[in-house]
Structure 1
Amino acid sequence: MLMNIIAAVLLDFILGDPYSFPHPVKLMGRIISLEDKLARKIDKSKLGLKIAGLIIVIMNICFGFFISYFLLKFIKQYKVIYNIINIYLIYTCIAARSLHYEAMKVYQALDIGIKEARTRLSYIVGRETKNLSEEKVMMATVETVAENTSDGVIVPLFFIMLFGVPGGLAYKFINTMDSMLGYMNEKYIDIGYFPAKTDDLFNYIPARITGLLMSIGSIGRFDIKNGFRIMIRDRKNHKSPNAVYPEAAVAGLLGIQLGGNNYYHGKLVEKPTIGDKLENINKNHIKNTIEIMYRSQVLILIIYSFVKLKII
């Protein structure tokens, strides 16, 4: 498993997620969309939609875990095929290169103009971008890379290391459900209740581990003392009990301030700030956050390697 994980991480670093490439998460998205539409046809009441959301969660976790479990079990005797499919499925669970690529699109767009930067940012965030200042565009990009270092890189690896590919794919289903249904607006507040709560539950421990990895992995590069301090001090300054940890770690490590009010789907969401404004945010902080992401990924691989090789 160790060599397969390392091979998958290297594959992600080289290829990223080509848009035309077959990808399980795309299939997950289609399944969730169909489930959402079907649930609304069957029962549009608040209770009915909430129950439907619970059923969707249970079904999709089972889909993600057991389909891959039995597939890999069936082909385990064919070592070469097993390893190829195993590596491919692990690779599809990791989004580091894709996150790097999309964040750098915003970074480069800032040189073209604020309108182009807002457009690029709109592809990777849920908030409204049309009226954001240059500072807010950079802040949103840093926050997105920080949060998704957890959701898209460290947490999938965490579950793969614990439960193999089935654990990773089950988590990707959970995270995709939250991304598609877990909004606190009128349309999704009922059907998205259990998807959002399930995502919070499964991210609870690994999100905190991500914050630790970010800080420890930044030794000799960024301000790790401030990273730990801000992560602990501002751990409640976010509507998400989990996203705050990687965001606060980055804010502390880089000496910048994140958070604050933003518009989501036409609604103002008031949020406290995270971190101290020791310096004004600039576009190089986007690159720094990407570096923190990779350092965290390398660190968790080193720790896992030590455990598997019984060095620690």
Structure 2
Amino acid sequence: MIPAWIIAAAYALDRLIGDPRWIPHPVIGMGKAITALEKRIRARTNTDKGLKRAGMLLPLLVAGGAFTASWLLLVLLYWIHPWLAAAAHVMLIATTIAAKGLRDAGREVYLHLKRRDLPGARRSLGMIVGRDTGHLGEAEIVRGTVETVAENIVDAVVSPLFYALIGGAPLALAYRAVNTLDSMVGYKNEKYIHLGWASARLDDIANFVPARLTAGLLIGAAWLFRMDAASSLRMVRRDARLHPSPNSGFPESAVAGALGIRLGGENVYHGVRSFRAYMGEPLREMNAEDITKTSRLMFAVSTTFVIWCAAAVILVGLSGGRMLW
């Protein structure tokens, strides 16, 4: 475990500045590495068996590379001066968190809707989802935004912090590499069913515990904000496992229950219709304020989890455990 203040400082840094475009982001480098590796793999083999074997190498090379490079960097900086390594640790962990970016993306859609600018809202939503957005009405735009913010509470906040707590910046960056691999090659379509299977499975495993922790924290946040915590718990128990992802259903069903809305339904991907299981009950019509409420829940969950992380580190320290850089 690393000192509590490093995790708290990394989270605070993300909340303060997010991911400025003028600062090179590790995920961009990961994406370029994945693209380059995919080209080399496909140039060497195009058989199902060959692609499946190569698919096992992708996480080892990309996630392993992210872990090793960041670990070596921190060791070098620690050798120069411990405080230099600590500062780098804070900045590296901050790059794996996207609480501010997630809120800002949702808020952009929200502001378009408040101005009655549906074309602008559709474009903004299209920047953060894979589904077709050109035909969506206000309720469906809200649904897409709420689903995206809810699902990414795990991927963009809780999971990176969870792995930072266990293994510092190197493990948090390795997690982010796995998550990036899943977003780029982890599709169950003809192109990636063999090459991306290992990345998709590893992402499911990596998010298994954080997704369930997130659901519990969302229920607690719903109670804190006087939303429907009881319904949130009930929807998690009833609907979470209906989602095609083994993890995404937990935050989505928790948010749906807390807000008294129904998520899921029909989506269109590149002109192809796809139905996703319903989460929650349609007790009322969705509106733009649900985006803001979901962001409030996200910040409550992320802040609470940071406090949990700090408490865990302090308890380990009091019990005689060694805190590693």
CA contact (8 A) 2:41 2:51 kept: yes
Q: CA RMSD in A?
A: 1.4
The residue number in structure 2 matching 1:35 is 37
- Residues 1-312 of structure 1: pairs in structure 2 closer than 5 A: 1-77=3-79, 78-110=81-113, 111-221=115-225, 222-310=227-315
Taking the aligned partners of 2:287 and 2:157, their CA distance within structure 1 comes to 24
CA distance in 1, matches of 2:142, 2:242: 20
Following superposition, the deviation at residue 112 of structure 1 comes to 4.0
Listed one character per residue, the Cα deviations across residues 23-74 of structure 1 (whole Å, up to 9, x for unaligned) are 1111001101111111111111222222111111111121121221222122
Q: Calculate the TM-score normalised by the size of structure 2.
A: 0.93
- 2:55 and 2:197 in contact (8 A); partners too: yes
Aligned amino acid, residue 219 of structure 2: S
Instruction: Give, in whole Å, the separation in 1 of the partners of 2:134 and 2:269.
Output: 12
Point out where structure 1 has 5 or more consecutive residues left out of the alignment: none
User: What CA distance in whole angstroms lies between the structure 1 residues aligned with 2:295 and 2:65?
Assistant: 32
- Structure 1 residue 81 displacement after superposition: 0.9
AA of the residue aligned to 1:2: A
Name the aligned partner's letter for residue 118 of structure 1: R
Task: Pick 1 or 2: higher relative contact order, CA cutoff 8 A, min separation 6.
Answer: 2
Aligned AA (1:33): T
Question: Any conservation in 1 of the 2:4–2:314 contact (CA below 8 Å)?
Answer: no
* TM-score calculated relative to the size of structure 1: 0.96
What does residue 322 of structure 2 align with?
Answer: none
Q: CA deviation at 1:199?
A: 0.5
Structure 2 CA distance, aligned partners of 1:73 and 1:212? 36
Pairs aligned (count): 312
CA shift for structure 1 position 200: 0.6
The Cα offsets for residues 69-120 of structure 1, whole Å up to 9 and x where unpaired, read as 2221222241221111111101101000001111111111112421111111
1:185 partner SS: coil
Q: Distance in 2 between matches of 1:264 and 1:183?
A: 12
Deviating above 4 A after TM superposition, structure 1's stretches of 4 or more consecutive aligned residues are: none
Aligned amino acid, residue 67 of structure 2: F
Cα deviation digits, residues 202-251 of structure 1 (max 9, x gap): 11111111111111133231211111110111022211110110001100
Q: What is the CA distance between 1:131 and its match in structure 2?
A: 1.4
Report deviation, 1:265.
Answer: 3.0
Per-residue deviation at 1:267? Answer: 2.3
Decide whether the 8 Å contact of 1:128 with 1:263 is kept in 2. Answer: yes
2 CA distance for matches of 1:48 and 1:99? 37
* Farther-moved stretch of structure 1 (108-117 vs 195-204): 108-117
CA distance in 2, matches of 1:68, 1:53: 23
- Distance in 1 between residues matched to 2:310 and 2:223, nearest whole Å: 20
CA–CA separation in structure 1 for the residues paired with 2:98 and 2:235: 26
Contact 1:215 1:227 in 2 (8 A): yes
Alignment-mate amino acid for residue 110 of structure 2: Y
Equivalent pair of 1:252/1:275 in contact (CA under 8 Å): yes
Could you tell which deviates more after superposition, 5-14 or 285-294?
5-14
Alpha carbons 1:218, 1:295 under 8 Å: kept:
no
Q: Distance in 2 between matches of 1:34 and 1:219?
A: 47
**Shift of the alpha carbon at 1:278?**
1.2
Q: Secondary structure at the match of 1:271?
A: strand
